Amino acid sequence: MTGRAGRVAVTVVLAGAVSACGTVSERRDEVRDAAVAFEKAVAAGAYGRMCTALAPGTVEELEQSAGSPCAKALSEESLASGGAVRVVDVYGNQARAVLATDTLFLSRFAAGWKVVAAGCSPRPEQPYQCRVKGG
């Protein structure tokens, strides 16, 4: 490979990586936006919008364990709005949004960031305990 071809290849790979994944701050903003949208739906009791914001695996688990469609299952969970976003952590395609009174876990899908788990409380040395989560 010539020097010029090598530089072009490196540029293409880097450009592909950046455009595919976005910068860390861009992804953090995307996660924040997704968390805020979910919390607005929770505050409004808009269960349909909440279902749209959930990850496919989480919807499946929710419907299976409740034995009812997603919106109805969510209405029975009575999730409370978590307030403002305090901290966002993003690693690869996984993220955590710490809110004033709640914590969300999110994952990036083709349609954008989706909520994998909500209504989560920390437990020492163990995974968060979440009211809504995937399987």
Partner 1 sequence: MTQHSSRTTPPEHRGLRGFVRDNGLGLFFTVTFLLALAGQAIAGHADFNNQLVADQLRPISLAEYLTSSDFAVDVAENWQSEYLQFFLFIGVTVWLVQRGSPESKELHKGGTESDKQQLVGKYAKEGAPAWARVGGWRRAVYSHSLLLVMGAIFLLSWLVQSITGVAAYNEQQLRQLQAPISWSQYLGAADFWNRTLQNWQSELLAVASMAVLSIYLRQRGSPESKPVGSAHGATGVEG
- Residues engaged in binding partner 1 (CB under 8 A): 13, 16-17, 20-21, 55-58, 60, 89, 91-96, 105, 107-110, 116-117, 120, 122, 126-128, 130, 133-135
**CA atoms of 99 and 8, how far apart (whole Å):** 43
Closer CB to partner 1, 83 or 122, in the complex = 122
Closer CB to partner 1, 83 or 127, in the complex = 127
DSSP letter (8 states) at residue 114: E
DSSP letter (8 states) at residue 109: E
Shortest Å distance, C-beta 44 to partner 1: 26
Concatenating the DSSP letter of every residue in 61-107 gives HHHHHHTS-HHHHHHHH-PPP--SEEEEEEETTEEEEEESS-EEEEE
Closer CB to partner 1, 45 or 101, in the complex = 101
**CA atoms of 90 and 85, how far apart (whole Å):** 14
Shortest Å distance, C-beta 52 to partner 1: 16
Closer CB to partner 1, 74 or 90, in the complex = 90
Shortest Å distance, C-beta 71 to partner 1: 20
